[in-house]
Amino acid sequence: MKRWWNTPGHPASARVMRRRVGRVMMRVVMAGAVSLPIASPLDQVKSPREPRTGGAVIEAWAYGTLSNATQPGSQEACDLDHVCALAISSAGGSGTGTGTTIQTSFQSASQGQPPPNLPFTLTETIEYGHPATRNVHGGNVAGACYPASGVMSIAIDASSTLVLDIVGQVCQVGSSTAQMIFTGSYVSDAASTGTVANADGIGTVNINNPSGLNGTGTNIKASLVGQLKYGS
């Protein structure tokens, strides 16, 4: 006669026991000759941390002059009821306060430091007809912002052009449209050529004036900060 203390609590085909796996005790179901571990949250193993990628940090500033501001497809002056297309540029050259200057950090030997005061062109479109804020009477309110986008082309040398796409908003400083500030982001464009043909960049861009509206300034000050990687 079998004693009750000699009788297994589970059939032989599905006995439950504990087995040590590494440093973790796991419940195991014995199914014939096959051991099937039962996973629990503590058994999960985290994947290794992803390696960091390389790159370069840049600081760039630009000074230029508004050469044209009209409604697209016409020669009508820009106003707050229509889209405004602006063309801004600088011939660059010696001295300060002209063109675009790019300072790099953590650059590779092939990237180097571009010369200062580089020529550039900036085409920008401001959606004055679709402001982000309006008052109940349909007029513009203090600090109103307008969607804007553009393309900035910087001549690195005679055969190399860095092209950056920008997008953001142009906002009034106070209740007047006499001063506008563009705040947004830039990303490198595949149209870049020469030594910067493979440029990979993203960051922030800020532009103080011009707005293209009558009676406003024509000088531009721009700042770009972020990542820009190029060279072999």
| Of 32-41, 113-122, 180-189, the least confident | 32-41
Sign of the torsion formed by the C-alpha atoms of 130, 132, 137 and 139? negative
Q: Which 8-state DSSP code applies to residue 156?
A: E
Q: Is the pLDDT of residue 137 over 70?
A: no
Please state, in angstroms and rounded to a whole number, the distance separating the CA atoms of residues 73 and 192: 27
Q: Would you state the pLDDT for residue 133?
A: 67
Across all residues in the chain, what is the average pLDDT? 79
Q: Would you state the pLDDT for residue 168?
A: 97
Per-residue pLDDT reduced to its tens digit, 175-221: 778 889 999 999 999 999 999 998 999 999 999 989 999 888 899 99
| Of 37-51, 165-179, 202-216, the least confident | 37-51
Per-residue pLDDT reduced to its tens digit, 64-93: 999 999 999 998 999 999 999 999 999 998
What tokens does 13 get? Answer: 């085909």
Q: Which 8-state DSSP code applies to residue 42?
A: G
Please state, in angstroms and rounded to a whole number, the distance separating the CA atoms of residues 119 and 193: 15
Cβ atoms 133, 124 nearer than 8 A: no
User: What is the per-residue DSSP string for the chain?
Assistant: ---GGGS-SS-GGGEEEEEEETTEEEEEEEETTEEEE---GGG--PPPPPPP----EEEEEEEEEEEEEE-TTS-PBB-TTSEEEEEEEE---SSSSSEEEEEEES--TTT--PPSSB-EEEEEEEETTS-S---TTS---TT-EEEEEEEEEEEEETTEEEEEEEEEEEEEETTEEEEEEEEEEEEE-TT--GGGTT-EEEEEEEEE----BTTS--EEEEEEEEEEE---
